[in-house]
Amino acid sequence: MDYFTYKNNELYCEGVSLEKLVKQFGTPLYVYSYAALKNRFERFNNAFKSIDSLICYSMKANSNGAVLKTFVGLGGGIDVVTGGELWRALKAGCPASRIVFAGVGKADDEISAALDAGILQFNVESEDELENISRIAVARGKKAPIALRVNPDVDPKTHAYISTGLKKSKFGVNHKRAIEIYKKASTMLGIQVVGIDCHIGSQITTTSPFVDAAKRVRHLVETLKSEGIEIKNWDIGGGLGIVYKDETPPTPEDYAKALLSVVGDLKLKFIFEPGRFLVGNTGALVTKALYNKVGENKNFLIVDAALNDLMRPAMYDAYHALWPVKKDGARPDLVADVVGPICETGDFFAHDRTMKQVLQGEYLALMSAGAYGFSMSSTYNSRPRACEVFVNGDQVDLVRHRETFEDLVRGEVMPGYLR
């Protein structure tokens, strides 16, 4: 969180005080640093400058248009998994030639839209999908550029819910059957084989799983070539972890060194799909303390953000650091659960967290909230979704209005007999 720092015990994002932001925009409030986004992209991109590479940001991590425009403006592409994400990517100005379409369940209308846009490639995850893409492409007089997502059965040593490269995973096709499926794809009228794809998971904190997967996929690439099937693009996926608490993930330079030791001599275009790495440590969720509650067995700090704003703790038991917007070293330490107002026991941000006492009306920042924060938020308990702001130096831009109660019912239609 290099761009979130204390000045005279007050927390700033770049050149702007978070207290100033909450007074202007209220809470809960997502705050993103433009400088941090730019720095993360450029560092990752520079690590692979020795090869032909394209960074396709995995927009499911954070789909705000300002974030997308930042990466597109820096020369990046976008990895999408739905028709809505494809629409957002194009609306953000991303050239279709820099868009990769992944996901296990692409619908007919999504495939048609991607074909019409002229995307770089579809990452195909099953034989049924391959046949369906071919059928749609033939009907539209096109050839669909495809890469087969290969499941290398490599354990990424991360949370089970974000492990995607194991044999039991729903993602990709078994690497032992890949050659057979590629041979079939090369004969299909609506298909143009252009690449190979592999993505083993998220929040990976060591290079060895990436290396193991790359070795298996390289063997496939060489075998395909011997069978007369040329691969132009190798989509290596994403998954590079970040620091939430005390993790020691590889740096982009370490990651590049490890991968290039396996694939650096291949004359291919390499596609990378970082998501969390690019945005996770660039944003914070600011929340207001509502009440301190002394229970029989523990203390609770109740705040105005909730699991509908940031689902990761409830979903993954994930850790997010809690920084006071104003430090006061004279305060006593307090051990408490930090919880939201939603009617679920799972509505928490921290269990038994030791922190300086926080008084009613003061503000806390949940750090490392730039990835899978707003993008996974909801209106559960009829809570309008949070506001988002972008900070660039001393400049502040509102990049998403706070939802209103009217927004909650905007799509509802009341039957006549209830009017």
Q: Which of 94, 198, 343, 387 is catalytic?
A: 343
Structure tokens at 146: 């495809």
Same domain, 401 and 317: yes
387 catalytic, yes or no? no
pLDDT at 58: 97
The answer as to whether 213 is a domain residue is: yes
Residue range 74-98: mean pLDDT, rounded: 98
Both 264 and 120 in one domain: the answer is yes
Domain co-membership, 293 together with 156: no
pLDDT digit string, tens, across residues 223-240: 999 999 999 999 999 999
Between CA 199 and CA 388 the distance in angstroms is 30
Count of domains for the chain: 2
Same domain, yes or no, for 191 and 331? no
Is residue 246 domain-shared with residue 145, that is, in the same domain? yes
Work out the mean pLDDT of the chain and round it to a whole number: 93
- Looking from the CA of 83 toward its CB, the CA atoms found within 13 Å total 11
Provide the residue range defining the domain that includes 124. Answer: 103-272
Query: What pLDDT shows up at residue 164?
Result: 45
CATH number for the domain that contains residue 308: 2.40.37.10
Token readout for 267 is: 């004359």
pLDDT for residue 168? 56
Quick: pLDDT tens for 264-279. Answer: 999 999 999 999 999 9
98-107, 125-134, 148-157: range with lowest mean pLDDT:
148-157
Q: Is the pLDDT of residue 290 over 50?
A: yes
Residue 160 has pLDDT above 50, yes or no: no
Question: What share of the chain has pLDDT > 70, as a percent?
Answer: 96
Q: d(Cα 217, Cα 154) in Å, to the nearest integer? A: 11
Same domain, 266 and 299: no
Residue 44 lies in a domain: no
CATH number for 151: 3.20.20.10
Sequence-separated (6 or more) residues with CB below 8 Å from residue 13:
3, 4, 21, 31, 32, 33, 284, 391
Whether 199 and 346 share a structural domain: no
Enter the DSSP assignment of 394: T
Q: What is the pLDDT, as a whole number, of residue 161?
A: 40
pLDDT of residue 167: 52
For residues 362 and 319, membership in a common domain is answered with yes
Q: Which tens digit of pLDDT belongs to each residue from 345-380?
A: 999 999 999 999 999 999 999 999 999 999 999 999
What token pair was written down for 35?
Answer: 């400088």
Q: What share of the chain is helix, strand, coil (3-state, %, to 5)?
A: 30, 25, 40
Quickly state the pLDDT bin for 263 (edges 50, 70, 90). very high
Q: What is the mean pLDDT of residues 31-52?
A: 97
Residue 71 covered by a domain: no
Q: How confident is the model at residue 295 (pLDDT cuts 50, 70, 90)?
A: confident
- Residue 361 domain-assigned (yes or no): yes
Within this chain, do residues 159 and 259 fall inside the same structural domain, yes or no? Answer: yes
Same domain? 197 vs 327? no
Whether 367 maps to a domain, the answer reads: yes
Distance CA 297, CA 303 (A): 19
Q: With cut-offs at 50, 70 and 90, classify the pLDDT of residue 169.
A: low
Least confident of 164-173, 196-205, 339-348, 369-378: 164-173
Residues 189 and 125 reside in one and the same domain: yes
End of a domain among 272, 301, 336?
272
Residues 339 and 402 in one domain: yes
The last residue of one of the domains, among 224, 255, 272, is 272
For residue 63, what pLDDT band results from cuts at 50, 70 and 90? very high
292-312 mean pLDDT: 95
**Helix or strand run (H / E) with residue 142:** none
- Enter the pTM of the model: 0.93
What one-character DSSP code corresponds to residue 376? G
In a domain, 79, yes or no: no
